[in-house]
Structure 1
Amino acid sequence: MNQNIMPASKMGFGCMRLPLLDESDVASIDIELFKQMVDAFMEAGNTYFDTAFVYHNGASETALREALVKRYPRESFTLATKCLAWAMPDGESAKNCLDVSLERLGTDYVDYYLLHNVGGKRTAKFDEYGMWDFVQREKEAGRIRFAGFSMHDNADTLDQLLTAHPEMDFVQLQVNYLDWDDPHNKASRLMEVAQKHGKPVIIMEPARGGRLCNLPPQAAQVLEKAAPEAGQAQWAYRFCWNLPGVLSVLSGMSNLQQTHENVASYRDNVPFSPAEQAALDEAVAVLRSLASVPCTSCNYCVKGCPANVQIPKVMELLNLEAMTNDHQFVKDLYSWQTAEGPASACIQCGACEAMCPQQIDIINQLKRAAEKYE
């Protein structure tokens, strides 16, 4: 692993959920409060800030210019931003994202530039627009220091992408203790693939979008008994900080209290003791027991589906709501994670149920998902 790619610490500041002056306006970032958060983060010795072309409708990047870039020496921090080429109408627009991001950020280079949300049918747009070669040219020009990509997909897809693009410097993946051995997401396999290709990993969703900071009582009590003083977020972050091959662990912070708590947790970070690991394993088992659909993500159902319904993903989201008791969070995930084949596209042919080794009543479960999330 190229040691020059490593930031000063593994604590990353995710700038996707910044504090707002007006909750109805995602661009109304409270700059003065954000400055205090940046100061607390930097004073604790952390340097990694993560944003994207689309966060807060672009205001996240301009907020970083005001709160960070204008107030600290450029060499004292590292910046990451991203391009959603698949959402752009053409290659010129996709490539122009870098120019816009640099202008918004008020800098002439970014440390980490990501091709954002590669995977599935979206990868074709990155290929069509020549984005892989583009980021390498921009590295040579000095406007990008390190190029990578983010993805919400499986380990086989990651392996294929890194085999096709060994020139990429790093990857950004969803990893957390709930997904680690999950049959759908299998975050442990993602980490194994990245390690096989020698790529460091930026971890996103270490707390599963905040869901691991708001556990159901049955799971929360297990962790509280093992470490009464530790917060639920600390359990989630410690799991990720101490994994091998980690470049940075992103934490989306929305207020000053979260910033203080997170930097304090990182300052005190140590690997789990055997007793703590056992408690975490027990908490995960409790969460798994709350799942309502016995899907193992074997994907047999998908192969025979004439409507291309994303059946395993729908089952996963039904289980996620059962485990987290957060309907709105899961509904928001559903809106984009099943876009290629929502539950309502089911024609009730029964091919999936005939193939399912777990004998799940898939048609009824799809009806339930459509009613809940569409």
Structure 2
Amino acid sequence: MMEMEKYQFGYGCMRLPLLNADDPASFDYPLIEKLFDTYMERGFTYFDAAYTYHGYHCEEAVKKALVERHPRDSFELATKLPLRDFKDAEDMERIFNEQLKHCGVEYFDYYLLHNMGTNVYEKCRKYDAFGFAAKKKAEGKIRYLGMSFHDMPELLDEILENYGEMLDFVQLQINYVDWEQPNVQSRRCLEVANKYHKPVFVMEPCKGGTLVNLPEEAKKLMREYAPETSFASWAFRFAASQEGVVRVLSGMNTMEQVMDNTATFRDFRPITEEEMAVIRQVTEIIEKNTPIPCTACSYCTHGCPKGIAIPEYFALYNSISRTTGSFSSQAVYYNNISLKHGKASDCIGCRQCERACPQHLPITDYLKDVAAKFEAGSSFPTRK
């Protein structure tokens, strides 16, 4: 089992700040560099990238903002093998070599099989993705090998039974809303990882911002109990307090987030039973006010034949339920987005998005709900 200090805090690079929200590669480098530097100055070193993030440009951004500006031994770099993208064993080799070049490094501190689940598991077995990564570790090009997992605990148990000896850690989606959710089952997945004595890294502790952008009723509860504590801090402390968790990731794109989140982990306090009672109440409120449990990871949009802005539409749909904002303002946003992307009603039901979704959401059904809410009875603009 890998040796690691508990409560390590990692910088997730899936949502780096941009100059143009419609261009995932329009990185705001001056801001990114400032955020990275501040994070490191406050005592943290772990950066979590991936081949597919930011339209396949994340690794290059990390190279420019981090690797080219800091000594190699001053940070730990993680990236991931895209399990949906590789075609065969030769392709894995090509991608891995590209990643070394993209990142400007000779080795990765941490390397993960990315987004493991039922949709890619047999493919990984067929082409021995586990063996491929283990070989790279033996060659000294990977220090620690793991996988990010988005599926049911039964599959996690099977994988760890068959391949656990190759894996140093697992990365799981753990947050208080998904703790008992049947489509994620954070608690049971964590129990499986603990059964095999695998250290756990946590992704989506704030569920893509859901646990920061709370319903007003939930905000009121938390503020009354702890007026000075941020909503993000509640979520991080819940995740980091669980047995077996050794690192929690956060995708930060403002200085306020970096300062608040690093403060949480510099002086970490495990969650208390009284706070858990508040969290249980907040969870009930969120579940009541969030019809679509999307984390805005955008995996669903890659390869969509109609270019539908699925996460953006789901966020607008949820916003109507979660806040007191007017429907008309949300409709304006919907109309504007649809000028550059497919409408919800453009969905042809191919379900490639559902096969890619880490949350296993019935996306095509939700798109029908979105279309009914935002398009019914409107003279809808068309894209040029």
Q: Could you state the TM-score of these two structures normalised by the residue count of structure 1?
A: 0.78
1:54 aligns with 2:52: yes
Task: Note closer, same or farther for the CA distance 1:114–1:372 as it changes in structure 2 (3 Å cut).
Answer: farther
Q: Cα distance, 1:247 vs. partner?
A: 2.7
Runs of 5+ consecutive residues of structure 1 not aligned to the other structure: 294-316, 347-364
Task: Note closer, same or farther for the CA distance 1:249–1:337 as it changes in structure 2 (3 Å cut).
Answer: farther
Deviates more, 1:53-62 or 1:334-343: 334-343
Q: Cα distance, 1:323 vs. partner?
A: 10
Matches within 5 A, 1:271-310: 271-290=270-289
Residue 90 of structure 1 is matched in structure 2 by: 88
Q: Contact 1:149/1:171 (CA < 8 Å) preserved in 2?
A: yes
Task: Note closer, same or farther for the CA distance 1:109–1:279 as it changes in structure 2 (3 Å cut).
Answer: same
Amino acid at match of 2:276: Q
Residue 358 of structure 1 is matched in structure 2 by: none
Task: Note closer, same or farther for the CA distance 1:33–1:280 as it changes in structure 2 (3 Å cut).
Answer: same
Task: Note closer, same or farther for the CA distance 1:186–1:124 as it changes in structure 2 (3 Å cut).
Answer: same
Deviates more, 1:126-135 or 1:228-237: 126-135
Matches within 5 A, 1:139-150: 139-150=137-148
Task: Note closer, same or farther for the CA distance 1:288–1:110 as it changes in structure 2 (3 Å cut).
Answer: same
Q: Contact 2:201/2:246 (CA < 8 Å) preserved in 1?
A: yes
Amino acid at match of 1:325: R
Amino acid at match of 2:112: L
- In the alignment, the residues of structure 1 paired with residue 90 and residue 16 of structure 2 have an alpha-carbon distance, to the nearest angstrom, of 30
Residue 322 of structure 2 is matched in structure 1 by: 325
Deviations 1:183-237 (A, max 9, x none): 3322111110000011111111000011110011121111111111111111111
Residue 35 of structure 1 is matched in structure 2 by: 33
SS at match of 2:24: coil
SS at match of 1:247: strand
Residue 339 of structure 2 is matched in structure 1 by: none
SS at match of 1:147: strand
Amino acid at match of 2:283: V
SS at match of 1:139: helix
Q: Cα distance, 1:371 vs. partner?
A: 5.0
Root mean square deviation, CA, Å: 3.1
Q: 1:336 aligns with which of 330, 353, 364?
A: 353
Amino acid at match of 2:67: V
- In the alignment, the residues of structure 1 paired with residue 319 and residue 143 of structure 2 have an alpha-carbon distance, to the nearest angstrom, of 42
Q: Contact 1:343/1:369 (CA < 8 Å) preserved in 2?
A: no
- In the alignment, the residues of structure 2 paired with residue 210 and residue 154 of structure 1 have an alpha-carbon distance, to the nearest angstrom, of 23
Residue 263 of structure 2 is matched in structure 1 by: 264
Amino acid at match of 1:99: N
Q: Cα distance, 1:86 vs. partner?
A: 2.2
Task: Note closer, same or farther for the CA distance 1:338–1:220 as it changes in structure 2 (3 Å cut).
Answer: farther
SS at match of 2:154: helix
Task: Note closer, same or farther for the CA distance 1:135–1:216 as it changes in structure 2 (3 Å cut).
Answer: same
Task: Note closer, same or farther for the CA distance 1:291–1:108 as it changes in structure 2 (3 Å cut).
Answer: closer
Task: Note closer, same or farther for the CA distance 1:292–1:21 as it changes in structure 2 (3 Å cut).
Answer: closer
Q: Contact 2:7/2:248 (CA < 8 Å) preserved in 1?
A: no
Residue 74 of structure 1 is matched in structure 2 by: 72
- In the alignment, the residues of structure 1 paired with residue 135 and residue 23 of structure 2 have an alpha-carbon distance, to the nearest angstrom, of 36
Deviates more, 1:278-287 or 1:141-150: 278-287
- In the alignment, the residues of structure 2 paired with residue 262 and residue 335 of structure 1 have an alpha-carbon distance, to the nearest angstrom, of 35
Q: Cα distance, 1:257 vs. partner?
A: 2.1
- In the alignment, the residues of structure 2 paired with residue 247 and residue 66 of structure 1 have an alpha-carbon distance, to the nearest angstrom, of 28
Q: Cα distance, 1:321 vs. partner?
A: 4.2
1:111 aligns with 2:112: no
Amino acid at match of 2:243: P
Percent of paired sites with the same residue: 39
- In the alignment, the residues of structure 1 paired with residue 61 and residue 272 of structure 2 have an alpha-carbon distance, to the nearest angstrom, of 40
Residue 360 of structure 1 is matched in structure 2 by: none
Residue 136 of structure 2 is matched in structure 1 by: 138
Residue 176 of structure 2 is matched in structure 1 by: 177
- In the alignment, the residues of structure 1 paired with residue 23 and residue 33 of structure 2 have an alpha-carbon distance, to the nearest angstrom, of 19
Amino acid at match of 1:267: R
Q: Contact 1:86/1:126 (CA < 8 Å) preserved in 2?
A: no
Deviations 1:149-192 (A, max 9, x none): 11211111110111110221111111101111223322111110
Task: Note closer, same or farther for the CA distance 1:8–1:191 as it changes in structure 2 (3 Å cut).
Answer: closer
1:231 aligns with 2:225: no
Q: Contact 1:7/1:48 (CA < 8 Å) preserved in 2?
A: no
Deviates more, 1:275-284 or 1:227-236: 275-284
Deviates more, 1:253-262 or 1:220-229: 253-262
- In the alignment, the residues of structure 1 paired with residue 6 and residue 248 of structure 2 have an alpha-carbon distance, to the nearest angstrom, of 12
- In the alignment, the residues of structure 2 paired with residue 134 and residue 17 of structure 1 have an alpha-carbon distance, to the nearest angstrom, of 28
Amino acid at match of 1:193: V
- In the alignment, the residues of structure 2 paired with residue 177 and residue 373 of structure 1 have an alpha-carbon distance, to the nearest angstrom, of 30
Q: Cα distance, 1:367 vs. partner?
A: 6.3
Task: Note closer, same or farther for the CA distance 1:66–1:89 as it changes in structure 2 (3 Å cut).
Answer: same
Q: Could you state the TM-score of these two structures normalised by the residue count of structure 2?
A: 0.76
Task: Note closer, same or farther for the CA distance 1:373–1:96 as it changes in structure 2 (3 Å cut).
Answer: farther
SS at match of 1:123: helix
Q: Cα distance, 1:120 vs. partner?
A: 1.3
Q: Contact 1:110/1:144 (CA < 8 Å) preserved in 2?
A: yes
Task: Note closer, same or farther for the CA distance 1:64–1:94 as it changes in structure 2 (3 Å cut).
Answer: same
Q: Contact 1:10/1:246 (CA < 8 Å) preserved in 2?
A: no
- In the alignment, the residues of structure 1 paired with residue 51 and residue 214 of structure 2 have an alpha-carbon distance, to the nearest angstrom, of 31
Residue 8 of structure 2 is matched in structure 1 by: 10
Q: Contact 2:35/2:255 (CA < 8 Å) preserved in 1?
A: yes
Deviates more, 1:118-127 or 1:82-91: 82-91
Task: Note closer, same or farther for the CA distance 1:106–1:344 as it changes in structure 2 (3 Å cut).
Answer: closer
Amino acid at match of 2:228: E
Q: Cα distance, 1:14 vs. partner?
A: 0.4
Amino acid at match of 1:245: G
SS at match of 2:84: helix
SS at match of 1:165: helix
